[in-house]
A and B are shown apart, each in its own frame.
Chain A
Amino acid sequence: MPIVELRNLYFSYEGSAKPALKNINLVVDRGEFIVLTGPSGCGKSTLCRVLNGLIPHFYRGRLSGQALVAGLDVKETPTYILARHVGMVFQNPENQLFLSTVERELAFGLENLGLPEEDIEQRVKQALDYFGLADLKDRPPYLLSGGQQQKVAIAAVMIMEPELLILDEPTANLDPVSAEEILELLEKLRKEKNISVLLVEHRLELVLRYATRLLIMREGEIIADGPPERVILTEHANIVGIPPVVEVYKILSGTKYALKDIPLTPSDLTNEIEAVVKRGVGH
């Protein structure tokens, strides 16, 4: 069963004539790593909020069409039930960390779900170990570095064992090294826990290497959906910025130095260029 099934989905915020989501059709299976991008205001955040039920339960409006998450109808299912299947991590860690120690922060979601103490204790211990947070367990989350905070935020959500993890520009405020650590963590989670990851991000040069699928939105609609290597070459990608390594591919394509495969990372590009040079073309 797919984790997400959206069909002919339309949504307008209350009091707004213009639809924020138009004719959305989206099926997500387990284990996918989807990068969702598009210009500011295209509806990325709105779409995410449908997936965990904030729309329509927290944000009022007209939602029509089919929206199933983990087989549950979003329109009929309260957010606290959907929270067991969909975890959401937001851009600013400050606004997601409320308690005075990392340990309590991790336990919070499970406390809310009413799990028995022993279960909570076990899961908290596991999470502390898995995420490398054991040393920080008594520290106040708001005194940690940005990267550590996002790790705690992810752990606090993953501890509820959702099948889908949504992250809305989680690395926007992080320095490049911390950002990469978070992305590596997401990839690890996807592989080891077989969850689906939906990552909203502008900086494709950072995230495309992890994506199994690239979605581009514009003005409420999904205008491109497919493997990143294919989608990044379509005309739709021009509005979202093409990573420099892909630009090299594009410039060389059609010439005698054309690269064989589309590089998504510097290391890909290095290999591709090496191959071209070895073929005897170039000097």
Chain B
Amino acid sequence: MEWVIEAEDVYYEYEGGGLALDGVTLRVAKGEILAIMGENGAGKTTLVKHFNGLLKPQRGRVVVLGMDTRHTPVSVLARHVGIVFQNPDFQLFAETVEDEIKFALRNFGFPEDVIEKRAKWALKIFGLEKYRERSPYALSIGERKRLSIAAVLSYDPDIVILDEPTSGQDFLQKERLAELLYLMKQQGKTVIIVTHDVEFAVRRSDRIVVMKAGKILGEGPPKKVLSDVRLIKEARLKPPQIIETAHSLTSKGVIVSKDIYPATPYELIRALGLGEDI
């Protein structure tokens, strides 16, 4: 198992008070899609900002791709770890869409021909070709969100972190996001998403980590974690609809009790024994 990120007993307190991380130990495996979940203020964003060196642990350490973040400049770490923050409007720095996509590539000193190639790829994959000469601010909010992701993926980081990527997104946008996650995984990238969205996390992630008040409450395969009633309640999350249904049906004896509940409609139907001819 190759660990791309290893956080060991990380403590972080913001100036002016507020212990954001209270002894967090976490390992992220290469190629996995990891969902970090928890209520607002649990420390999720603070934690991921340690992964590209924006924040340095005050106690403990974070090792990313073999590099200790305390001794590696952000510019080096950022080359391998891309973060797409929640609000696209805070991440649009260029005058045209094309320049926006090239912004990071230029900053990291890629050769011009590589820049052209990757920009072309990103514009195409994200359906932004027709806007290449336009100002990023002329785009709709959904398009700006796509652009903010495109601008990070264009420089091909090994690890991609998305902060609340489904927030405010409509159904089709979320489907596209799911396809994107799959694409990134295919490319061998490691993806971390910070999210509240239990339905999205249970279907699209490989592993879930649940945080509360700067600590990790639990982690494991999505269905297992989101079936843990006590854990979910403590973290102020709500179980996905199918898991909640399965839980009720189990307590009524309709389904035989298992540790891990069905999480999708088809899994539920199969668990009921109705699945043979459906």
Contact = CB atoms under 8 A, between A and B. Distances in A.
Nearest to A176: B238
A266 B171 contact: no
Interface stretch (A48-56, A124-132, A184-192, A248-256): A248-256
A145 interface: yes
A55 B210 CA distance: 43
A202 B142 contact: no
Interface stretch (A6-14, A72-80, A239-247): A239-247
B120 interface: no
Most chain B beta carbons < 10 A, residue from A91, A267, A270: A270
A114 B109 CA distance: 61
A202 B177 CA distance: 15
B272 to A, nearest CB: 6
Chain B contact patch, size range: 35 or more
Q: How large is the interface on A (under 10, 10 to 19, 20 to 34, 35 or more residues)?
A: 35 or more
Interface string A239-283: 111011101100110010100000001110110011001000111
A173 B174 CA distance: 16
B142 A40 contact: yes
A268 to B, nearest CB: 9
B174 to A, nearest CB: 7
Contacts of A274: 249, 252, 254
Contacts of B273: 282-283
18 contacts: A38-B170, A41-B142, A175-B39, A178-B39, A205-B199, A243-B241, A244-B241, A245-B241, A248-B269, A251-B265, A251-B269, A251-B278, A266-B242, A266-B244, A269-B241, A270-B249, A273-B254, A283-B272
Interface of B: 38-41, 140-142, 167-174, 196, 198-199, 236-238, 240-242, 244-245, 248-249, 252, 254, 264-266, 268-269, 272-274, 277-278
